[in-house]
Structure 1
């Protein structure tokens, strides 16, 4: 009876101390090492805590005034390199009419005078230079064996609506010019008009009008409508899908 009572007391004492002894025993017990990673699977790095503010997704870069100024400066630099004579003018603001990056153009490459000197947006001056160099001058040599010396301008910048009054004219944005004719080194001037069929003048005028279409977005002249019977209207109006009007 005494041994049985002692054993029961010992068991009771151990059970009473178990909540205290168990955590310490487990803490001191050795842990089995983790197996090495498989050769074909690199060891994964410890995961980093997830940020509560993840970086924003990429968004389109908005065009800024600095971008516009850079584009304007680049256009002016190209005019200078092409050999145009012009004066940089301040931005035009006249009611609803305005011209970004305007220039007063007085001559084109090859010394071709612009008469009168005309105010227009810089890209229009650049397009005129390209048209004169790539189209008008070579065609004048083919048809007249003479170089053009003067480009006669009717209207460049003018604050007005379109003839039908539907919206602002491209002239109101400095974005269009009306070509009235040309002067040449070795022949009489040529006015834009309905020319005699199969004549060198008709061939010249038709060629420079058609070849203006890849350079300008709108080309209107004799044969398109009554309003353009005595000049070529050229402008850089932007339309959806790069749509162009060439008549």
Structure 2
């Protein structure tokens, strides 16, 4: 009993003599958030600086000097405002743009209504083979003509392979001598031989054969009906012939004029040759068509789709 009491007092004395530590245990910092007082500041990464030549000033890279002693570029590196422009007649360097031209505003011009301008008119080319075949046929008809140099008067006026015709058939003069395409001359020769001469012999047998075709116009650079606007005339392409009258051997001249109501054989002759003209020409306009043709036949060999013909 005494031993237990003594042990109890010893334990009490031991407990009372013990002291608590000044501070409790400190918690360990989490791996992703260390205490501010223990973390190390991270130094900022310096931005890369442009590499400079050892002898260049740090604040400004050297720039080449222009011939007049000034810098070729300003401080920002842009081209100086007074740099001379490239000559206007020097083609722009196409570089690697696939060869496309730098189109100027002129090439994008319109007709004022937003439409591109019409393509410039050019002379229609004729193949050598076609021309030579026509020449051979015209020679076989007995026509008198000669080849003349190519005509190009601009704006689509001209003939690639023109001829000058002086006789449509043997003994039948074409006055004055006319310039045209061979195709127009060949149509004229066939019409005269197969239609006009027989009609003349039937209508005016005492006057004798026709000896002269009096023409009013062949090749001339102009618009239709001598207008100031509109389409180019077939005369400007060498396709057209205007016939003013026919002269017979005895001197009788039948002038082309309005003869719709003419009941004579002369009137019948004119109407007959006008109607037959459409067998050889693609266009025939006579005095009954309009005032612009009241004193001549207009005949041309304009090609139309489906061999369409206009005869009036």
Normalised by the size of structure 2, how large is the TM-score?
Answer: 0.56
Is the 8 Å Cα contact of residues 153 and 181 (structure 1) preserved in structure 2? Answer: yes
Q: Answer with 1 or 2: which has the greater Rg.
A: 2
Is the 8 Å Cα contact of residues 160 and 171 (structure 1) preserved in structure 2? Answer: yes
Q: Secondary structure of 2:170's match?
A: helix
Instruction: Report the Cα distance in structure 1 between the residues aligned to 2:256 and 2:194, rounded to whole angstroms.
Output: 19
**Worse overlay, 159-168 or 215-224:** 159-168
Match of residue 244 from structure 1: 309
Structure 1 residue 186: deviation in Å?
A: 2.9
Q: Please, which runs of 5 or more residues in structure 1 have no aligned partner?
A: 1-64
Structure 1 residue 143: deviation in Å?
A: 0.3
Match of residue 70 from structure 1: 129
Is the 8 Å Cα contact of residues 164 and 177 (structure 2) preserved in structure 1? Answer: yes
Match of residue 126 from structure 1: 186
Is 1:154 aligned to 2:219, yes or no? no
Structure 1 residue 80: deviation in Å?
A: 1.4
Instruction: Report the Cα distance in structure 1 between the residues aligned to 2:150 and 2:250, rounded to whole angstroms.
Output: 39
Instruction: Report the Cα distance in structure 2 between the residues aligned to 1:139 and 1:92, rounded to whole angstroms.
Output: 36
Runs of 4+ in 1 over 6 A off after TM superposition: none
Is 1:192 aligned to 2:233, yes or no? no
Instruction: Report the Cα distance in structure 2 between the residues aligned to 1:147 and 1:141, rounded to whole angstroms.
Output: 7
Is the 8 Å Cα contact of residues 284 and 311 (structure 2) preserved in structure 1? Answer: yes
Is 1:117 aligned to 2:177, yes or no? yes
Match of residue 21 from structure 1: none
Is 1:226 aligned to 2:285, yes or no? no
Is 1:89 aligned to 2:153, yes or no? no
**Worse overlay, 116-125 or 192-201:** 192-201
Is the 8 Å Cα contact of residues 148 and 182 (structure 1) preserved in structure 2? Answer: yes
Is the 8 Å Cα contact of residues 149 and 184 (structure 1) preserved in structure 2? Answer: yes
Paired positions, count: 182
Instruction: Report the Cα distance in structure 2 between the residues aligned to 1:173 and 1:87, rounded to whole angstroms.
Output: 18
Is 1:175 aligned to 2:175, yes or no? no
Structure 1 residue 100: deviation in Å?
A: 2.6
Structure 1 residue 98: deviation in Å?
A: 1.4
Structure 1 residue 187: deviation in Å?
A: 4.9
Is the 8 Å Cα contact of residues 138 and 186 (structure 2) preserved in structure 1? Answer: yes
Is the 8 Å Cα contact of residues 214 and 246 (structure 2) preserved in structure 1? Answer: yes
Structure 1 residue 82: deviation in Å?
A: 1.3
Match of residue 32 from structure 1: none
Q: Please, which runs of 5 or more residues in structure 2 have no aligned partner?
A: 1-124
Instruction: Report the Cα distance in structure 2 between the residues aligned to 1:108 and 1:177, rounded to whole angstroms.
Output: 12
Instruction: Report the Cα distance in structure 1 between the residues aligned to 2:193 and 2:133, rounded to whole angstroms.
Output: 20
